[in-house]
Amino acid sequence: MLTIQQDAPDFTLNDANGEPHKLSDYKGQWLIIYFYPKDNTPGCTTEACTLRDDNAEFEKLNAKIVGISTDSSKSHLKFITKQALPFTLLADTTGEVSKAYDALFKLGPLKVSKRHSFIIDPMGKIAKIYRSVSPGLHSQELLVDLQQLQKNA
């Protein structure tokens, strides 16, 4: 199990355009990684849209948002376009990154990411872990916690 102040598990995943992203690409800034089950489903759309609506507030706090699910880059591109999402979605099609973050649910051949989130500090360490997420309230919860973490840093 992952713990606070542990190095965040490294990853390299492709975005909606097939471009690779690594954890180290975000070094020096705060990073919100949110895992979610499926593009264009009600809960996942609610969560993505509240994060979209609060994105300017995250940017003021020098924080980037990255969503990760087991959906393909092509699925992510449709989701980003349909919902006008201003942040990156990464395709964890093998489920390996979700597994590394203890956020993978497997049922036979079916693999989906659980709705878990992490705040990663500018040094790449886990600052906060969320294992129980309410899609409509999570964005505000992240903002409040991020402000508190930055105040205490």
Active site residues: 44
- Tokens describing residue 40: 């264009």
Where b means 16+ CB within 10 Å and e means fewer, 80-98 reads beeeebebbbbbbbebebb
Q: Which long-range contacts (CB under 8 A, 24 or more apart) does 108-112 make?
A: 111/70, 112/37, 112/38, 112/69, 112/70
Measured CA angle at 18 (ends 108, 110), to 5 deg: 5
The CA distance from 135 to 77, in Å, is: 21
